[in-house]
C-alpha cells in the first residue's frame, strides 16, 4: 500500500513538474514575442530617423545644433550595462536557491535604472539649455527627444518591475522551480540596454 501510494505521489509530482515546465516555456515564448514586437517598434523609429536624415538637404545634425556630450553617453551606457549585469546575477542566484541574495542584486538593477533616468534627465536639460528646444523646426531636436523619451519610458517600466521583484525575492517568493518572472524581467532589461546601444550608435555616433 505504501509503495503504491509513493508511486502515485511520485507520478503526481512528475506531472506537476512537467506542467510547470510547459507553462514556463509558453510564457518564455510570450516574452520573446513581446520583446520582438517592441524591437520592431524601435527599429521602425530608427529607420524613420535614418530616412529623415537622408532626406535632409542640410548638414546633420544641423549646424549649431547641440549634441550630447560624449562623456554623458558613456556614463549612461555604463550604468545600463551595470544594470544588466546585476539582473543577470540575480537570475543565477535564484536558480541556485538563494532568492534573498538575489533580492539585493535586483534592487541594485532597479537603482541602476533610476540612476539612468536621472542621468537622462540631466542630458535633456543640458541639451535644452544649449538650444535644442521644442517645439522647433529642427527635425533633429524632435527625433532626439522622441527616441530618448520612448526609451526612457521603457527604462522606467523596467526599474519598477525589478524593484517589485526585489521585494518579492526578499520574501522568498522565488525558488529554483519558480524563477521564470526573474528571467523574464532580466530579458526585458537586457533588451532595454541593447536598444540604448543601438540608439547611441545610430543617432549620436554615425
- What are the CA-CA distances from residue 179 to residues 92, 174, 189 (Å)? 10, 6, 16
The model's pTM is 0.84
Is pLDDT above 70 for 203?
Answer: yes
168 contacts 185 by C-beta, under 8 angstroms: no
Domain assignment present for 15:
no
Q: Tell me, yes or no, whether 2 lies in a domain.
A: no
Q: Which run of H or of E encompasses 201?
A: none
- Kindly report, residue by residue over 96-141, the tens digit of the pLDDT: 999 999 999 999 999 999 999 999 999 999 999 998 888 766 788 8
Percent of the chain scoring above 90 in pLDDT: 53
Q: Is 173 helix (H, G, I), strand (E, B) or coil?
A: coil
Q: Which residues contact 156 (CB under 8 A, 6 or more apart)?
A: 113, 117
pLDDT at 184 exceeding the cut of 50 = yes
Q: Which has more confidence, 67 or 189?
A: 189
- Residue 146: other Cβ atoms inside 10 A: 14
Q: Domain with 88 in it: what CATH number?
A: 1.20.120.80
The Cα–Cα gap between 46 and 26 comes to 30
| Contact assessment for residue 165 and residue 106, using Cβ atoms and an 8 Å cutoff | yes
Q: Is the pLDDT of residue 68 over 80?
A: yes
- Residue 88 and residue 102: Cα distance in Å, rounded? 10
- Cα 55 to Cα 61: distance, rounded to the nearest angstrom: 13
The answer to whether residue 167 sits within a structural domain is yes
Residue 8 pLDDT grade (very low, low, confident, very high; cuts 50, 70, 90): very low
Q: Tell me whether residue 201 is in a domain.
A: yes
* Residue span of the structural domain in which 60 resides: 29-205
pLDDT in tens, 149-173: 999 999 999 999 999 999 999 998 8
Count of structural domains within the chain: 1
Instruction: Report the alpha-carbon distance of residue 162 to residue 169 in Å, rounded.
Output: 10
Amino acid at each position: 500500500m505504501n509503495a503504491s501510494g509513493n508511486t502515485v505521489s511520485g507520478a503526481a509530482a512528475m506531472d506537476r513538474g512537467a506542467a510547470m515546465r510547459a507553462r514556463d516555456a509558453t510564457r518564455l515564448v510570450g516574452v520573446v514575442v513581446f520583446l520582438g514586437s517592441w524591437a520592431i517598434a524601435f527599429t521602425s523609429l530608427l529607420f524613420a530617423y535614418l530616412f529623415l536624415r537622408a532626406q535632409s538637404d542640410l548638414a546633420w545634425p544641423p549646424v549649431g545644433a547641440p549634441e550630447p556630450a560624449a562623456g554623458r553617453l558613456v556614463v549612461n551606457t555604463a550604468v545600463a550595462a551595470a544594470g544588466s549585469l546585476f539582473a543577470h546575477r540575480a537570475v543565477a542566484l535564484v536558480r541556485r536557491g538563494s532568492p534573498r541574495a538575489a533580492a539585493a542584486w535586483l534592487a541594485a538593477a532597479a537603482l541602476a535604472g533610476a540612476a539612468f533616468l536621472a542621468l537622462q534627465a540631466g542630458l535633456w536639460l543640458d541639451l535644452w539649455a544649449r538650444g535644442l528646444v521644442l517645439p522647433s523646426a529642427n527635425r533633429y531636436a524632435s527625433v532626439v527627444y522622441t527616441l530618448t523619451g520612448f526609451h526612457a519610458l521603457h527604462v522606467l517600466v523596467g526599474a519598477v518591475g525589478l524593484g517589485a521583484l526585489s521585494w518579492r525575492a526578499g520574501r522568498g517568493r522565488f525558488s529554483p522551480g519558480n524563477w521564470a518572472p526573474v528571467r523574464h524581467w532580466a530579458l526585458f532589461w537586457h533588451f532595454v540596454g541593447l536598444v540604448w546601444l543601438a540608439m547611441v550608435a545610430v543617432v549620436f555616433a554615425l
